[in-house]
A and B are shown apart, each in its own frame.
Chain A
């Protein structure tokens, strides 16, 4: 009765929340389409498929990967899958999901506000609901972002805080149990670690607050309540928590951390986002600065730029802040006000004021890197506390008004919340974003997946077997589909087709190596069958329903042309077409989910799946360096990739880096022997700590090394031997600190900050300085200087700054655009040298029929190449002893890939004049040097544009990725040279160089302060045109040598006798394997993404001592048992998951019993 009475008091507001939620979702889903996009994809297209993919510890997705924390979504997807299976369409399921989000958040914030400020009248408390739903933060981060876990967390947070505070106030432990139970209902939100941290930080703050302001006898209760809430939450969520710990504990996380969890990159993101989104004038108004400034792509956000709206937004914030001033000693205000300011403090990132605290914490506490976008995550606390404060503020303001004014004020506030803030929600504008096609208001986030995907799914399911798809063209993580209600967001193949596929590129270790190179290998290598075998792929899917230009992907027609060639050679066959989807069957397919390896190839260096194509014959398996495989004689051959690449003599262009002697060897005033020298050290420390940019910092530290040498030289000259030694020791220490960073920033060629040869030249001077210093030292110390040079040389070669054998130069073989590749040879032997020079005759003044000269270590050799299979050219065998070896060559003179015809004069009075030069034989996987001379006679200069066939367009105008304006110089009117590197899009097939001139025009200059937008009108603008006249000559575009050499060696091992293998898939995480006729040790391969948690059990015993990376992505084991037997391959966290599910189920049951008993008790009372 108590509960019913309580509800009757507030029922009108609750019914209103119910009605408003229903109206909103009815508007959003009125067309009967699901919604999707961004990072979320379209999970509501098939919740059944989502449940299937993420219901066990190993996710059946792409090449597979640990489900990890995503297992938290399992209960939600189970419920949604049940709804789909009883025939409810996806859009209704999604509408129901969003309706629950609105209800949860609405009820939660309503009751939370009442809990904080019970004195406020109900009609004012109701304002907290539209405030929480429609405020600018929620608009951007919850609704526009459209990630389900964001939405669920947004609904859960006020409910959890309400239960926690109620528990504290009423001193009833049942609320701690309720928090756990609610966390189960909202478990989808737990799929983000950042949200779990925020959730517990908010509860910790609440507990701390109550600890401070409670009487001492209650403090024990606060601690007990907090511990109970945490404990119950922990056991009720144990099914996914154990997966997270398991993931952190095995090597899988270490691999991800090494590639994705980079402090430098995360810090840069944190720094930039803090600058962009962390301004207080935006945060106090709960606004996302970039989103609301993007009027160019979303007209509707322009309304929030009007001065009046801007001022009113600030007034709303004023209403939030007012209670903090007036009611500062009320505990509810102190609690919410304190949390509001704390959340502003952290949401602004490292922006001033006092941003250094978060900055330092971010660098030193690695878990804080989860908050590299502080606005996106920590910002969730802002609406949570500002909604109740807003209601209290309104109550304070209205309380001082007369009755009429009260009504007007209330009406105006409702208008603000429902129209100004709520407008984009009623008009569905909140579900639009800047990209194509989601910027169209009639499309937005609506997605209509064509019917032929369902037909294709049915057909794929009828094919049986366990196989994968390769979907071409492959882009990055995102894709744009050209469906009637199109889609822009993460690539969808694994969400809309029932068979896993390699269809996108992302930064998952091992997967990335495969996906990033797949299209290139398909188009440029002969032996693609080896890749299809390795990936267990039966079909290649060709899709024409994508907006490939918008995403900078390859023209599907190019893929089809290649497939036609493969079809004519009998390797593939086009078997089905559904709408814009074509299915090409790989005719050599057999199920290779689990199979024994016949021949193993050791891949030394960076494992690359491409090397499968570099091996003769089928059933060859690439493995990384595993000693046990060699010991057991399982290795058939090895491929060695270079460890380091060096370059000297390449064209240095457009870099402003200062490597002058003045900068690299700064003058010295205070010497180490001076008593002020410690102050100099301190000054240097402060100076370097002030440099934020990594490249500038590295350069500064190299310059300080030069300074050390100057100091040492002067001290040596003065006979201060002890000080000289001290400063040289310091030099070595500082050298070792800077070298790893130097390796990261220096590159062989291109428009990079620092070229490797710059570093080489700088350190060459260091060698000379040390040699010079040697003469100043007494005889007994000369040896030490010599040893310093040796140490320097060793450090530089170890870090890949200079070649081990140097840049050897002879009269017959001078250094000219020299490339050096270093190999680490493990065993003495004869190695075949292979290099892809088949097409060099198109790009260089070189021919396969003529021998090429190489430097092998220090010896010049001349070799005639012979073409092998797979387009590689063999330059014969070299005998190498174990250790470092280098093969070098001078890049031959390049062939000009554009047909320029002498001097070109371009003159324009009005409009545009341009000259197009098609680029011959564009190899998109290479780099080019563009060079031309130009002279500007009059006007605005010339634009050098390289237009590629997959450049995107905006408003019908191509937006080339490469566009350089060679503008006029006010002083120097001489002929000028322009040289720059051009790196094409790897997905382009054709390109043209365009030289474009436009008239000089000063319209904008004249109307700068008087409406310069008039100048966008061509008729208005053209009278201000003045002639531009430019002459251009010596136009050239030449390719650089980017082919990577490899060394190959074969062993004379007798072929391995492999047993017969059959297997049964239990689920995505477990396979039962039957081995028959095993006579000797063999390698067993599982075609799932490599993860250390995959285990092999023979008769229940872990038999996986030698678990290795196979084919650059998969799992391999050595099985050393003869005869017939069964073995199990299992992803070990699956057992933990089952145990965790049991624990969580029991905890839920106990929780429910406790809650029901309590409800019964209240009922009888």
Chain B
């Protein structure tokens, strides 16, 4: 990982941790966690060049786990996992979009 990336990664996390609340957004703790998770996952993808396939499979697995939890009544935990999975879907699809665009070009 080169130094420039490290600096940008730190900046992304810093914006996630400090910057966004300072902009006046009304945040609950869990909202903040998901923003942070988004920044964290993006930084991981960026630094470790994780493919969309991996991202989407992980999201799919988390979704299935969540589905199992819903059916046995753990709705709160299932919802948290589903939210994490949803972030994965968004990121994975954005990656796929980018990959497809590069292939088309």
Contacts and interface: CB of A to CB of B under 8 A. Distances in A.
B26 to A, nearest CB: 5
A354 interface: yes
A213 B79 contact: no
A303 B97 CA distance: 39
A341 B90 contact: yes
Nearest to B78: A281
Contacts of A296: none
Given A213-B101, A310-B71, A314-B71, A338 B93 contact: yes
A403 interface: no
A interface, by DSSP: helix, strand, loop or mixed?
helix
Given A341-B93, A356-B26, A314 B101 contact: no
A317 B63 CA distance: 9
B49 to A, nearest CB: 17
Given A280-B82, A324-B56, A353 B38 contact: yes
Nearest to B58: A325
A354 B32 CA distance: 9
Interface string B66-98: 111011110100110011111101101100110
A284 B24 CA distance: 30
Contact of A338 (B56, B57, B97): B97
Interface in A302-343: 307-308, 310-311, 314-315, 317-318, 321-322, 324-325, 328-329, 331, 334, 337-338, 341
B11 to A, nearest CB: 19
Nearest to A328: B96
Contact of B100 (A314, A317, A321, A331): A331
Contacts of A317: 63, 67
B40 interface: no
A685 B24 contact: yes
A325 B57 contact: yes
A352 to B, nearest CB: 5
A311 B37 contact: no
Contacts of B86: 280, 341, 344-345, 353
A498 B71 CA distance: 53
Contact of A284 (B35, B63, B92): B63
B34 A352 contact: yes
Interface stretch (A18-26, A686-694, A785-793, A1153-1161): A686-694
A355 B59 CA distance: 19
Contact of A334 (B26, B35, B96): B96
B31 interface: yes
B52 A328 contact: yes
Contacts of B84: 353
A314 B67 contact: yes
B53 interface: yes
B interface, by DSSP: helix, strand, loop or mixed?
helix
Contact of B64 (A307, A318, A353): A318
B92 A328 contact: yes
Interface in A678-703: 682, 685-686, 689-690, 692
Contacts of A328: 52-53, 56, 92-93, 96
Contact of B37 (A281, A325, A353, A356): A353
Contacts of A356: 25-27, 31, 35
A693 to B, nearest CB: 11
B31 A311 contact: no
B85 to A, nearest CB: 8
A279 B79 contact: yes
Contacts of A355: 31
Interface string A198-227: 000000000000001100000000000000
A689 B66 contact: no
A685 B21 CA distance: 10
Contacts of B59: 325
A210 to B, nearest CB: 11
Given A338-B93, A355-B31, A356-B25, A213 B104 contact: yes
Contacts of B28: 352
B32 to A, nearest CB: 9
B22 interface: yes
A356 B38 CA distance: 13
A957 interface: no
A686 B101 contact: no
Contacts of A341: 86, 89-90, 93
A725 interface: no
A317 B85 CA distance: 13
B71 A311 contact: yes
B103 interface: yes
A360 interface: yes
A726 B92 CA distance: 52
Given A308-B71, A338-B93, A689 B52 contact: no
Nearest to A333: B96
Contact of B21 (A279, A314, A686): A686
A359 interface: yes
Contacts of B101: 212-213
A329 B99 contact: yes
A578 B48 CA distance: 81
A696 to B, nearest CB: 13
Given A345-B90, A359-B26, A307 B83 contact: no
Residue among B37, B38, B92, B103 with the highest chain A CB neighbour number at 10 A: B92
A279 B90 CA distance: 16
Given A284-B82, A314-B70, A334-B93, A353 B26 contact: no
Interface in B10-60: 21-22, 24-28, 30-31, 34-35, 37-38, 52-53, 56-57, 59-60
Contacts of A308: 71
A321 B93 contact: no
A692 B25 CA distance: 11
Given A279-B79, A325-B56, A353-B38, A311 B67 contact: yes
A353 B34 CA distance: 6
Given A322-B60, A359-B26, 16 more contacts: A212-B101, A279-B79, A284-B63, A307-B71, A314-B64, A315-B67, A318-B63, A324-B89, A329-B99, A331-B100, A334-B93, A338-B93, A338-B97, A341-B90, A353-B38, A356-B31
Closest CB pairs A-B (n = 4):
A314-B67, A353-B34, A311-B71, A280-B82
Interface of B: 21-22, 24-28, 30-31, 34-35, 37-38, 52-53, 56-57, 59-60, 63-64, 66-68, 70-73, 75, 78-79, 82-87, 89-90, 92-93, 96-97, 99-101, 103-104
6 contacts: A311-B70, A321-B89, A324-B89, A329-B99, A353-B35, A356-B31
